[in-house]
Amino acid sequence: MRHITLLLCFAMAQLYAQENYALDTIDQQELQKYVAQYHQSNEALMRTIKNTYPKKIAKQLNENFKNFGAEFEASILAGDFIFDKRFLDMANAILDEFKLKNPNIPKNITVLISKDPSLNAYCLPDGTFVLNVGLFYWLENKDQIAGVMAHELSHKLLEHSVKGQVKQIRDAYSDKRKKQVKALKKTRFNRSKRAFNLYKSLLYTTSENRRKREIEADSLGFLMLRHTKYNTFELIKTFKLAKVYDTIRPKDLKKEIYPKVFDLPNQKFNPKWLKCEDFSTYDYDLYKEDFDKDSLASHPELMIRINKIKKTFKLQNVESNETQPSEDFLELQKLADYNFIPNLMHFENIGASIYLCLKQIQEGNDEQYYKKLLGENFKIILEGRKKYQLNRYLERVKPNKQSQSYIQFLNFMWNLSLPEIENITNYYTKK
């Protein structure tokens, strides 16, 4: 009887944990309200543009914003955002602090929380401020969230998005560009090569301008942050965490996890599933990039940004001014952690989702929950395989860009036959 009681307590604890970390949702009717609100603000932006810029430029700008607006509205209706009061309350409280201490910030900023698990945020020209839920997973405290928001609000205040597009449109219609295109048409030899070089030059110039705008937003963001109650030194820590995030690779899965998870009662584990293609003889030096990746980068290298902030504002002893995370932030961090894999599934990143399920099981974290998610992921893989759309959900092996562990995982997934996938799906969905 004692064992039965313990098992029931454990089951109830697992159920409570999963329910406790569920995110609040809203129905389609409520989503329509957000769509209508965004549509109105985007329409107001386009009216302002029409009254501000010359007709030709305004027409092109408004076409851009109209097309983007339609895609953004569709993403809201598709469920790409989280309408959970806990996340929204924290983000809006930080925004209110910025508005209170920086009166130049527009009053019509609307915060949305994206399900995207990456470390990113952006503020649209109409005043829609999007924070990825990944910020709450990758960052360490509320002050770092404030640092990211300060940077993105600076882009809004400096009108970087609109001004950047205006510059591109003006350049496209300039006499200089017309002469370049005319000269290309007259060229008899190497026309395609010269056209490509012109295109590459334009891309490099656009990327360089974007990097300059990032530096401007860093400086203004730091000034705005300094007026608030938040620790300005955490902005430097945010950059450092972003640098780690940019270079992060999935932690290794041990080969032992595969037989542990996939040796099933009705389907014994087959060692051939772990067979990998041999890429050792391929010479990647033979392939040369047509573009210089550094010149194409839209953001300056993070250490450059860190050193620029330190030098401009004469910062010292940055590491000694750390902020401890608050309880409400830690609670949101748990929510973001628990929903990391479901959010990957929402965006159909099924390969990474299965890999992380296996990683969590390997580490002994809430096996019941992650095996349930494993079954849901394999159900998607099964349907993709049946419809010959597996590429939609599962990456191909890229040996020069992926870790050995992830290459092993992808080979395992691609080695599974349709009946084998179906057996795994049935076992873990029924389990």
Q: Look at residue 284 in the predicted model and tell me its pLDDT.
A: 47
In angstroms, the first-to-last Cα distance of the chain is 24
Q: 326 and 358 in contact (C-beta within 8 Å)?
A: no
Q: Look at residue 302 in the predicted model and tell me its pLDDT.
A: 86
Secondary structure of the chain as H, E, C letters? CHHHHHHHHHHHHHHHHHHHCCCCCCCHHHHHHHHHHHHHHHHHHHHHHHHHCCHHHHHHHHHHHHHHHHHHHHHHHCCCEECCHHHHHHHHHHHHHHHHHCCCCCCCCEEEEECCCCCCEEECCCCEEEEECHHHHHCCCHHHHHHHHHHHHHHHHCCHHHHHHHHHHHHHHCHHHHHHHHHHHHCCCCHHHHHHHHHHHHHHHHHHHHHHHHHHHHHHHHHHHHCCCCCCHHHHHHHHHHHHHHHCCCCCCCCCHHHHHHCECCECCCHHHHCCCCCCCCCHHHCCCCCCHHHHCCCCCHHHHHHHHHHHCCCCCHHHCCCCCCHHHHHHHHHHHHCHHHHHHHCCCHHHHHHHHHHHHHCCCCHHHHHHHHHHHHHHHHHHHHCCCHHHCCCCCCCCCCCHHHHHHHHHHHHCCHHHHHHHHHHHHHC
In angstroms, rounded to a whole number, what is the distance separating the alpha carbons of residues 240 and 243?
Answer: 5
**What residues contact residue 90 under an 8 Å CB cut-off, 6+ apart?**
142, 145, 328, 329, 332
Q: Look at residue 19 in the predicted model and tell me its pLDDT.
A: 54
Q: Look at residue 293 in the predicted model and tell me its pLDDT.
A: 55
What tokens appear for 128 in the block? 């829609």
Residue given tokens 């748990």 in the structure block:
334
β-bridge partners, 82: 113
In angstroms, rounded to a whole number, what is the distance separating the alpha carbons of residues 404 and 252?
Answer: 8
In angstroms, rounded to a whole number, what is the distance separating the alpha carbons of residues 424 and 374?
Answer: 9
Q: Look at residue 251 in the predicted model and tell me its pLDDT.
A: 67
In angstroms, rounded to a whole number, what is the distance separating the alpha carbons of residues 54 and 169?
Answer: 11
Q: What is the pLDDT of residues 255-289, one digit of tens each?
A: 999 999 999 999 999 999 999 977 665 554 544 55
Residue given tokens 């064992």 in the structure block:
3
In angstroms, rounded to a whole number, what is the distance separating the alpha carbons of residues 124 and 161?
Answer: 8
Q: Look at residue 349 in the predicted model and tell me its pLDDT.
A: 96
CA 266 to chain centre: 39
Q: 19 and 338 in contact (C-beta within 8 Å)?
A: no
In angstroms, rounded to a whole number, what is the distance separating the alpha carbons of residues 80 and 60?
Answer: 28
Q: What is the pLDDT of residues 150-196, one digit of tens each?
A: 999 999 999 999 999 999 999 888 888 778 777 777 777 677 777 77
What tokens appear for 296 in the block? 């194409």
Please choose, from the candidates 384, 322, 381, the residue with its C-alpha nearest in 3D space to the C-alpha of residue 351: 381
Degrees (nearest 5) of the Cα angle 361, 366, 370? 55
Which residues of the chain fall below pLDDT 50?
1-17, 284, 286-287
Q: 81 and 113 in contact (C-beta within 8 Å)?
A: yes
Q: Look at residue 11 in the predicted model and tell me its pLDDT.
A: 42
